[in-house]
Structure 1
Amino acid sequence: MSVRDTFNKHLLHPWSDLPNLGEDDSTPVIVRGEGVYIYDDNGQRMIDGPGGMWCMQTGYGRQEIADRVATQIVELGYSTAFSTINPLEAELAQRIAEKTPGDLNRVFFTTGGSTAVDSALRLCQLARNIRGEPQRKHILCRDKGYHGSTYLSASVTGKERDKTAMDTAVDLVHFLTAPCAFYQEQEFASEEAFCDFLIAELEAKIAELGPENIMCFIAEPILGSGGVLVPPKGYNRRCWEVVKRHGITYIADEVVTAFGRLGHWFASETLFDVVPDIITFAKGVTSGYLPLGGYAVSDAFMAEISGDNAEGNCYSNGFTWSANPVSCAAALESWDIIEREQLLEHVRDVGPYFQAQLRTLMDLPLVADVRGMGMMAAVEMSLGSDAEGEALLEQDYHLGDLIDSHCREFGLLVRPLINVCIMSPPLILTREQVDDLVSALRKALLKAQEELLG
């Protein structure tokens, strides 16, 4: 039985298309990776446009990470954070604390981004209960935001075009307008006017719910899986000022943007002038080699719920693989590579070129928008038809699938989120490889254009 036949018979993948379950004939079978390239089972080499899933910071085939992980497996392959301490988790936590803004000096490790967000939200719930504010459980978030797929993290996710009948905590979660000018350009005269609207909407929602009932505000500095939405200038800072004025906890979800994706260890303060109460992270922390995530929380936050203030409570949250020493070994070696090869500086150098070259695609009829920052970008496509609702969604799915298929023909893997090509390539991508990536995407768009528009 072939890999694909086995997949169709036995596997259920994330975001599986249930109407066509067991009938997949197009998802690529990836068998090898090297640098910025991956290879399918037919030997086709492709630039990994999405960088795995926003996570392959240092690229594929890193012997240094393999060696360090192998050594760690032999030395200590597992230890439980429930009752023991391993030296690698302590070292990694110290390194993270040295790079986080403000007094975010305490780190909790999880298994990935979803569990990091879920754990941070549970910490906030615990904190409100300990502080005698049990009614403060409402959460503010944004349309098109993505925070994970556990029950709580999925509840604060606002990807409204996902067709699903799964339950979420709708009574506690409140969505605000996605901060992307592309979707609002017909309604506002300027970026500043749009930003003013967003902040006024935030203020109005707080007044409607009552600040005394709101637990936290959770936000990606740049919305990732929602379509790489870059907010208006000053938006993140102004949101932070508003929520802090009302005593609302600010959670920055940096699962995508941390560890070099935007050219910095963390983006909140350096790029957006925000010092959150909590920062979640995952993905690039190990360069995708092993599962690991977590959050950093401020000393001030923890002081209010620890020591004599704890009222005897414990933080009853954790995972079998929290702070796994093998995962921490991968993270430490990835960190060393980023420093040794100056990849943060590399992103700050190549990132603007990457964005500029992608914007050259705006001359194509199928391209509606190109946006991004650093090493994360999106090319949004549209047929410009009058279709609406389900018809438009079906049309956009077909467009994305077609572009995806043609990109692979020309040596590029993209991640089609319906009609948006998402890219977050390994941070080691060179200018020459940027040119190859954009060239392949242009060829794919032109081929689709010929088929769809004639």
Structure 2
Amino acid sequence: MDFKELNMEQRPANKLSSESILEALGTYNQMARSVWPPFNSDAGYDEISLRVKRGEGAYLEDCRGSLLFDGISGLWNVPLGYSNEIIKEAIRSQLVELPSCSLIVGETEIANEAASLILQRCEMDGGRVFFSNDGSEAIESAIKIARHHFYAQGRANKKIILSCRDSYHGMTMGALSVTGISEDKWQFGSPLPDIYQVASPYDLLENDPCKFVYEILNAIRFYGKENIAAIVLEPVFAVAGIVKIPPGTLKDISNICKSNDILLIIDEVTTGVYRGSSHFLFSAGHDVIPDIVVLAKALTNGYVPLGATVAAKHIFDSVERSGVGLMHGHTFSGNPLAMAACRAMLSQVASGESDVVALHLANAATNYIGKSKAFKGFRVSQAMLGVDLDLELENMTTAGVSNLAKKIRITCREKGYVVRPTYGGKTFNFLPMYISSEDQIVGLIRSFVNVAEEMINEMRDASR
């Protein structure tokens, strides 16, 4: 099938009803599935799973040959689309020269080049980059490095890690422990010790940044600065619905950390590589240089798994002075294919890369979401948009919210768009690719608004 960068509003809608999509998916899944689906049951996955055949540009093609505009960039990690030949060729060339080599076994030139580019973009000269395989592992590495930093100084008591309620940092046990979403935790037993959640981004939604900062200060007083190693912070709470920390607030927290000898770990897994800001790092645009930065998702344009934990020079130096180094690593640390993809990505992505799509996204949100009564509101941070459904119905249960979000998701797919709810279905996040055109963004948002309005209005009418 020949892919084209189509205006989705001009393209005929897929001629399949929601019921026929579910029926086809159910039959296909019963025959073909051997994978264990993430974040779902097998039955639930049957209803929402998208059977992808291939991708090109900003589009996916499913197993029935339908074209779908991707409104979430894979899973927020493919900003330059599915057809970037520079990255693909870099991977092909590296596959021939050296397809595999763990940094545990040997150092490679390609790993040093990728790390050097990351340090340049993060403006952390003299620092070091620890490579892993995804954002969760990169967060785990950051926690270990922070604790080792103080252990190496003979202050092993400084091991408490603070993070925020309603934050998301990953699903491995260490990353899950600093994640502040209780719904993600209940199946897996107790989290790691000496990790506590404090302030919530909903303080920011209520326009109370002072309360947010005060809660962090209060936690430092309660646990004692002599016991706290680090604060882990998302500059934009993505899963919570694109809740942005105000510039002054982020600077205040940075200063609080410095004055209390507490490390600031900024999780830029989603916001990094120009997604949340016109800067490579969101924090860099607000005069904040973290002690440790965590990156993943867009580092390879989503083509190869990669996580990076970027430590400032003073952090690396203190660990080195311990004489034993960092006793931590992974078989696939610094995988050459990931390094080649990262180098190719960072060699072409540039400052202001997301500025145009960010403008289109903000305009579309204002013109369509802002004028609709189906939504409580929306928030934009560069090329990230969070939209809250207006669900003020007395009989709206948690299951009801989830089912509504599922129906919106499936119906949007029927109309040719990939969308995905977050936070129990109350919010939809849109993170389109930087290569998306204005017509594509407008089509995405307009279609979503039409679908959501129709379904929410039906619910309101039924409740009267």
8 Å CA contact retained: 2:199, 2:216:
no
1:332 matches 2:339:
no
Cα pair 1:112 1:292 within 8 Å, conserved? yes
Q: Is the 8 A contact 1:50 1:414 kept in 2?
A: yes
Counterpart of 1:152 (choices 164, 168, 174) is: 174
Q: What residue in structure 2 maps to residue 4 of structure 1? A: 29
CA contact (8 A) 2:70 2:419 kept: yes
The answer on 1:267 being equivalent to 2:274 is no
CA distance in 1, matches of 2:405, 2:278: 29
- 1:367 is the counterpart of 2:391: no
1:298 to partner: Cα distance: 0.7
Within a 5 Å distance, the mapping from 1:201-212 to structure 2 comes to: 201-212=215-226
1:257 maps to: 271
Q: Which moved more, 1:154-163 or 1:392-401?
A: 154-163
Amino acid in structure 1 at the alignment position of 2:41: D
In structure 1, which of residues 422, 425, 434 is the aligned counterpart of residue 429 of structure 2? 422
Superposition CA RMSD, Å: 2.0
Q: Which moved more, 1:239-248 or 1:56-65?
A: 56-65
CA 1:124–1:289 in structure 2 vs 1: closer, same or farther (change >3 Å)? same
- What is the aligned partner in structure 2 of residue 292 from structure 1? 306
Q: How much does 1:244 deviate?
A: 1.5
Conserved in 2, the CA contact under 8 Å of 1:411 and 1:440? Answer: no
Aligned residues: 432
CA contact (8 A) 2:177 2:195 kept: yes
How far off its partner does 1:7 sit? 5.4
Deviations 1:299-335 (A, max 9, x none): 11222221xx31x323111111111111111112222
Matched, 1:46 2:57: no
Aligned partner letter, 1:384: E
Aligned-pair CA distance for 1:356: 2.8
- Name 2:403's counterpart in structure 1: 398
Counterparts of 1:181 and 1:246, CA distance in 2: 23
Q: 1:4 touches 1:25 (CA, 8 Å); kept in 2?
A: no
Matched AA of 1:443: N
1:328 partner amino acid: M
Q: CA deviation at 1:65?
A: 2.1
- Which residue does 1:13 correspond to in 2? 37
Match of 1:345 among 349, 352, 361: 352
Percent identity, aligned pairs only? 25
Q: Which amino acid aligns with 1:38?
A: L
Q: Partners of 1:38 and 1:398 in 2: how far apart?
A: 24
Write the distance in 2 (CA, Å) between the matches of 1:395 and 1:174.
31
Q: Is the CA contact (8 Å cut-off) linking 2:176 and 2:185 kept in structure 1?
A: no
Alpha-carbon distance in 2 for matches of 1:316, 1:170: 19
Kept in 1, the 8 Å contact 2:401–2:426? The answer is yes
Choose 284-293 or 368-377, whichever is displaced more: 368-377
In structure 2, give the amino acid aligned to 1:178: S
Secondary structure, counterpart of 1:305 in structure 2: helix
CA distance in 2, matches of 1:434, 1:245: 44
Q: Is the 8 A contact 1:140 1:174 kept in 2?
A: yes
Q: Tell me the CA shift for residue 62 of structure 1.
A: 2.1
Task: Give unpaired runs (5+ residues) of structure 2.
Answer: 1-25
Distance 2:444 2:57 in 1: 14
| Letter paired with 1:336 | S
Match of 2:20 in 1: none
Check whether the contact 1:181–1:231 (CA below 8 A) recurs between aligned residues. no
Compute the displacement of 1:447 (Å). 2.7
TM-score (norm 1): 0.90
> Which whole-Å CA distance do the structure 2 matches of 1:204 and 1:77 have between them?
50
Match in the other structure for 2:445: 438
User: For the structure 1 residues 104 and 53, does the alpha-carbon distance in structure 2 shift closer, same or farther, using more than 3 Å as the test?
Assistant: farther
SS of match in other structure, 2:46: coil
Relative to the length of structure 2, the TM-score reads 0.88
* Counterpart check, 1:125 vs 2:147: yes
Q: How does 1:56-135 map to 2 (within 5 A)?
A: 56-103=78-125, 105-135=127-157
1:453 Cα deviation after fit? 2.4
Report the Cα distance in structure 1 between the residues aligned to 2:80 and 2:353, rounded to whole angstroms: 12
Residue pair 2:380, 2:386 contacting (<8 A) in 1 also: yes
Contact 1:130–1:305 (CA under 8 A) maintained in structure 2: yes
Offset of 1:382 from its aligned partner? Answer: 3.0
Partner AA of 1:15 in structure 2: F
- Write the deviation string for residues 30-73 of structure 1: whole angstroms up to 9, x where unpaired: 11111111121122222211111110021012233222211111
Between the aligned partners of 1:258 and 1:39, the Cα distance in structure 2 is 28
Superposed displacement of residue 439, structure 1: 1.6
1:257-286 per-position Cα deviation (integer Å, ceiling 9, x unaligned): 11121332222122x221100001011000
- List runs of 5+ in structure 1 lacking aligned partners: 185-190
Give per-residue Cα distances to partners, 1:149-198, cap 9 Å, x unaligned.
111001000123447321242641221232245753xxxxxx3xx11111
Separation (CA, whole Å) in 2 of partners of 1:181 and 1:231:
10
What's the secondary structure of 1:363's corresponding residue? coil
What is the Cα deviation at residue 364 of structure 1?
Answer: 2.5
